[in-house]
Amino acid sequence: MVKKTDKIGDVLKKYPEAAMILLEAGLGCVGCPMMSQETIEQGCKAHGLSNEEIDELIKKINKKIGEKNG
């Protein structure tokens, strides 16, 4: 399960399917050098997402992971 306090790079290594969801939310973190240091929450805040949008993004990522892992 992904949390907003997880580092972006760690999430993408473990769950590459999260990349498209992050890109759709406006985060170009997939190739950003900061992805290994920033949490999902920090990246989202840097791109102007609200707390509610961040929570929804985390839900989408976890839903996608759940679907893949059955």
Residue 16's CATH number: 1.10.3910
Distance CA 14, CA 35 (A): 13
Q: Which value, in Å, is the radius of gyration of the alpha carbons in the chain?
A: 11
| Token duo for residue 58 | 């985390």
What pLDDT shows up at residue 35?
Answer: 76
- Whether 33 maps to a domain, the answer reads yes
Q: pLDDT (tens digit, 9 = 90+) per residue, 3-57?
A: 999 999 999 999 999 999 999 998 876 677 777 889 999 999 989 999 999 999 9
DSSP 8-state secondary structure symbol assigned to residue 6: S
Tally of domains in the chain? 1
pTM: predicted TM-score of the whole model, two decimal places:
0.88
| 6 contacts 36 by C-beta, under 8 angstroms | no
- Whether 1 maps to a domain, the answer reads no
- Whether 2 maps to a domain, the answer reads no
Decide: helix, strand or coil at residue 39.
Answer: strand
What pLDDT shows up at residue 70?
Answer: 67
Q: Where are the beta strands (DSSP E) in 1-70?
A: none
